[in-house]
Structure 1
Amino acid sequence: MSLGLDFGTTNSVLARADGDGATLVPLDGPDGADAVFRSALCFWQDDVPGGIAVEAGPWAIDEYLQFPEGCRFLQSFKSVAASPSFDTAPIFTKRYRFEDLGRAFLDRLAARAHGVLHGATRIVVGRPITYAGHRPDEALARQRYDAMFAALGAQIVYVYEPLGAAFSHAATLTDAATILVADFGGGTSDFSVVRLEAPGSDRRARPLGHAGIGIAGDQFDRRILDRLVLPLLGKGGTYRSFDKVLEIPAGHFTDFTDWSRLALMRNRKTLAELDKLRRAATDPDAIDRMIAVIEGEQGYPLYDAVGQVKRALSQGDEATFAFEGGGIAIEAQVTRDQFEAWIADDLARIMATVDRALEVAGLDADGIDRVFLTGGTSLTPAIRRAFADRFGQDRLASGNELTSVAHGLALIGQQDDLAAWTA
Structure 2
Amino acid sequence: MWYAIDFGTSNSLLSFVEDGKEPRIVNLEGDSPILRSLIFTPQENLFYFGNQAIEKYQELGGDGRFFRSLKKFLPEPSFKGTEVFGKRMKIEDLIATFLRELKKRADNKTGNDVKNVVLGRPALYSLDPEKDKLAENRMRLAAKIAGFEKVEFCPEPIAAGLDEEGVGSELILICDFGGGTSDFTLLRSGKSFTKENVQGLSGVFVAGDAIDGRIMRNFVSEHFGKNVKYKAPMGNNLLSFPTKLLKKLCNPAHIVFLKERENWEFLKELEQWSVGGEDQKYFGQLFCLVEEQLGYPVYSEIEKSKIELGDKEASNYRFDHPGVQIDMVIKKDEFEAAVRPELGEIFESLDKVFENSGVKYSAVDLVRITGGTGQMPLVQDRLKELFGADKIQMNKVFQSVVSGLGKYAQNLPN
TM-score in terms of structure 1 length: 0.90
Equivalent in the alignment of 1:239: 230
Which residue pairs with 1:44 in the alignment? 42
1:165 matched to 2:160? The reply is: yes
1:341 aligns with 2:337: yes
Cα separation, 2, equivalents of 1:133 and 1:367:
27
3-state SS of paired residue (2:135): helix
Q: Report the 3-state secondary structure (helix = DSSP H, G, I; strand = E; otherwise coil) of the residue aligned with 2:35.
A: strand
Distance change in 2, residues 1:268/1:353 (3 Å): closer
Please tell me the residue identity of whatever aligns with 1:44.
Answer: P
Where 2:175 maps in the other structure, the secondary structure is strand
How many angstroms does 1:414 deviate by? Answer: 1.0
1:22, distance to aligned residue in structure 2 (A): 2.8
- Amino acid corresponding to residue 231 of structure 1 in structure 2: E
How many Å separate the matches in 1 of 2:367 and 2:356? 17
2:92 to 71, 96, 99: 99
Q: Distance in 2 between matches of 1:66 and 1:213?
A: 37
Find the counterpart in structure 2 of residue 226 from structure 1: 217
Size of the aligned set, in residue pairs, is 406
What does residue 421 of structure 1 align with?
none
Identity %, equivalent residues: 28
Alignment partners' CA distance in 1, 2:255 and 2:126:
16
**Distance 1:69-1:354 versus aligned 2 partners, 3 A rule:** closer
Aligned in 2, Cα 1:76/1:416: closer, same or farther, shift over 3 Å?
A: closer
Q: Once the 2 structures are TM-superposed, how far is the Cα of residue 57 of structure 1 from its aligned partner?
A: 1.6
Q: Does the Cα contact within 8 Å between 1:323 and 1:331 map onto a contact in 2?
A: yes
1:145 corresponds in structure 2 to: 139
What corresponds to 1:11 in structure 2? 11
| CA-CA distance at 1:161 after TM superposition | 0.6
Deviation at 1:136, TM superposition (A): 7.4
The amino acid of 1:285's aligned partner reads K
RMSD: 2.3
Is residue 155 of structure 2 the alignment partner of residue 155 of structure 1?
no
Q: 1:147 and 1:270, CA in 2 relative to 1: closer, same or farther beyond 3 A?
A: same
Q: Is the 8 A contact 1:24 1:407 kept in 2?
A: yes
Alignment CA distance shift 1:132-1:328 (3 Å): farther
2:351 & 2:290 partners in 1: Cα distance?
40
Deviation digits for residues 344-396 of structure 1 (CA, Å, limit 9, x no counterpart): 12212211111101222220101211111111000000000000000111111
Secondary structure at the counterpart of residue 320 of structure 1 = strand
Alignment of 1:312 with 2:308, yes or no, is: yes
Between 78-87 and 277-286, report the one with greater CA deviation: 277-286
**Which residues of 2 match residues 57-136 of structure 1 at below 5 A?**
57-115=50-108, 116=110, 119-120=113-114, 122-131=116-125
Which amino acid counterpart does residue 24 of structure 2 have in structure 1?
A: T
Match of 1:48 in 2: none
Contact 1:370 1:397 in 2 (8 A): yes
Deviations along 1:161-190, one digit per CA (max 9) or x if unpaired, are 10111013x15x633211110101111101
Structure 1 residues 203 and 298: alpha-carbon distance in aligned structure 2, compared to 1, 3 A threshold:
closer
2:351 corresponds to which residue? 355
The answer to whether the 8 Å contact 1:118/1:153 transfers is: no
After superposition, give the CA deviation of every residue in 1:34-78 in whole Å (9 maximum; x if it has no partner).
Answer: 111111111112xxxxx4311222221121111133221010011
Q: Which amino acid aligns with 2:176?
A: D
**SS of match in other structure, 2:31:** coil
- Please list every run of 5 or more consecutive structure 2 residues that lacks an aligned counterpart in the other structure: none
